[in-house]
Structure 1
Amino acid sequence: MKEITFNHRKSSIIGMGTWRLGEGDLLETQKEIAILKYGLHHGVNVIDTAEMYGEGKAEKAVGTAIKGFDRDSFQIISKFYPYHATPELIKDSLEKSLKRLQTDYLDVYLLHWRGNTPLAETVQGLEAVKKAGLIKSWGVSNFNTDDLKELAAVPDGENCQVNEDLYNLTSRGVEYSVLPYQKEHGIDFVGYSPFGSDNNEFLKLKNELGDVAAQKHISIFELLLAWCVRNNDVLTIPKTSSTDHFVSNLKAIDIDFTPDELELIDKIYPKPTKEEPLDTI
């Protein structure tokens, strides 16, 4: 399996997304937990979740799934609401997340998106829980380059380790300045929703893409995932609803593209040529 360095550790190049997990009936939740376990057993060692996902239900499902696994063998990312971004509320949210996840610490804790709390206050709160050993690193989500620069200017803002943004073939805005900025400043990038989430309704799939996939004898979804990790510098976090899909995802990360194929894909979905508002889900 392809690996990258993420949060100063060797990591699988894909993680496991958990949006909507734990929100169905008991049977559905047990199936989701089994898939998370399957991923951990097969070398996928990053799980991405948030207090927002099912108002804690996804974190509870993750907490059940990770029982019996060596906690040092995988990383958990979770996120807190922007209206929990003061030092006091960060600590409170974190403690609740840790309880649901049945773990003593998070590997990465992210501000889910920008709110009204000054970034300096949020960083102060994150540094405090990091110093207390409750998290290893912290970061942000849904930040653009201007947001990242503003963050870097506050005390300890340079300690941001991760930014997580929407990134897939139909949402390439981060390529213009976010990815170069993060690479320059040593901030790891996590791309969420490589398949567009929610039954792929956020993807604008074109017929020509199906032709490329057919020529490579792969599925469109394998193409989409392989494209996201083509440069070996992005951690992408697909949500997986079945073991079959998981097997397909594992196969996809080993797919390579020729320069001609990448050029053709760029013609179908052009890379950004200027700064533009980032897509979000």
Structure 2
Amino acid sequence: MKTVTIGKTVLPAIGLGTWHMGDDPRREKQEIAAIRAGLTAGAQLIDTAEMYGDGRAERLVGKALQGYAREQVYLVDKVLPANANAVRMEASLDQSLRNVGTDYFDLYLYHWRGSTPLEETVSELNRLQATGKIRHWGVSNFDRADLEELWQTPGGDQCVVNQDLYNIGERGIEYDVLPWQQAQKMPLMAYSPVAQGDTLGTQRLTNNRVLRAIAQAHQVSVFQVMLAWVIRQPGVIAIPQTSQPEHAQQNVQAGDLYLTEQELIQLQQEFPTPTQKQPLAMI
């Protein structure tokens, strides 16, 4: 399986997202089974956030991990902009730790930029890292200019990852964000790698003739082809979300799928690389 190194930890290039999970108690058992199926298939990273269901996704992750050794998983959580300051961040972090039922997060992300000065947010992230409550920190929904400002901020170069929306139908970050991160050796965590959260976008991709033909040739799903495409280059980890155990297993198995050079050329022709700067895609 392809791997990505975040900090000093080598991880499978397919992780597990949890956005919209934990919202419906009737689906709790199935969602827990989906997380466990993904872990059984080989995933290690689980991504969640205090924003997801006001903590319900965090609590679901905690239930799913009962019986697992803490070292078996790489836990990622995120702090809301309103809490990303010296007054509120540690209390917010402590609540998230309680929700998940752990003493530390492997990675803690600034979910998106808010009104707090970046220097204050970075200073607090580094302070919390020193306490051991988080092992590393990163950012999410940062554009090229945000990343450049971060790098010029005292302590900002301790950031180990940026999480942005990225899939074959939304390649805007390839113009300037991804090249900058590659130059800095900063991994990209791709959320919505199969266009989750965009129903029309998902339908457009799953019905695409080129994607369908490639999926058929490999005897896999279109979703697996899209995931294999996202992680085709080094330093990119994808975090698809699904509440279906079978789909979770298939998502992780996409880490073993290698597209041929000809297939990559076909996909490039169908979904060309952007030739100019585009607004950062977010959902």
Partner of 1:3: 3
Bigger mean CA offset, 77-86 vs 45-54: 77-86
Task: Could you tell me which runs of 5 or more consecutive residues in structure 1 were left unpaired when the two chains were aligned.
Answer: none
Structure scoring higher RCO (CA < 8 A, sep ≥ 6) equals: 2
- Alpha-carbon separation, structure 1, partners of 2:242 and 2:112: 24
1:7 and 1:188 in contact (8 A); partners too: no
- Alpha-carbon separation, structure 1, partners of 2:215 and 2:60: 34
Distance apart, 1:149 and its partner CA: 0.4
Partner of 2:106: 107
- Alpha-carbon separation, structure 2, partners of 1:224 and 1:213: 9
Identity of aligned residues (%): 41
Tell me how many residue pairs correspond in the alignment: 280
Partner of 2:197: 198
Letter of the 1:106 partner, please give it.
Answer: F
Distance apart, 1:170 and its partner CA: 0.5
Q: Please, what is the CA RMSD of the aligned residues?
A: 1.5
- Alpha-carbon separation, structure 2, partners of 1:103 and 1:65: 13
1:87 and 1:126 in contact (8 A); partners too: no
Off by >6 Å, runs of 4+ in structure 1: none
- Alpha-carbon separation, structure 2, partners of 1:202 and 1:84: 32
Letter of the 1:104 partner, please give it.
Answer: D
- Alpha-carbon separation, structure 1, partners of 2:146 and 2:219: 41
Distance apart, 1:185 and its partner CA: 1.5
- CA offsets, 1:101-126, max 9 Å, x none? 10000111111111111100101111
2:228 and 2:254 in contact (8 A); partners too: yes
Task: Could you tell me which runs of 5 or more consecutive residues in structure 2 were left unpaired when the two chains were aligned.
Answer: none
- CA offsets, 1:228-277, max 9 Å, x none? 11124211001122122123223322221221111110111101122211
1:176 and 1:275 in contact (8 A); partners too: yes
1:83 and 1:115 in contact (8 A); partners too: yes
The 3-state SS of whatever aligns with 1:87 is coil
- CA offsets, 1:71-103, max 9 Å, x none? 122211111111111112111110000000100
- Alpha-carbon separation, structure 1, partners of 2:265 and 2:20: 35
- CA offsets, 1:178-235, max 9 Å, x none? 1221122132210001111137444342344323333443321121111111124211
- Alpha-carbon separation, structure 2, partners of 1:268 and 1:235: 23
Partner of 1:248: 250
The 3-state SS of whatever aligns with 2:87 is helix
Partner of 2:32: 33
| Residue pairs, 1:251-266, within 5 angstroms | 251-266=253-268
Bigger mean CA offset, 118-127 vs 63-72: 63-72
Distance apart, 1:39 and its partner CA: 2.1
Partner of 1:59: 58
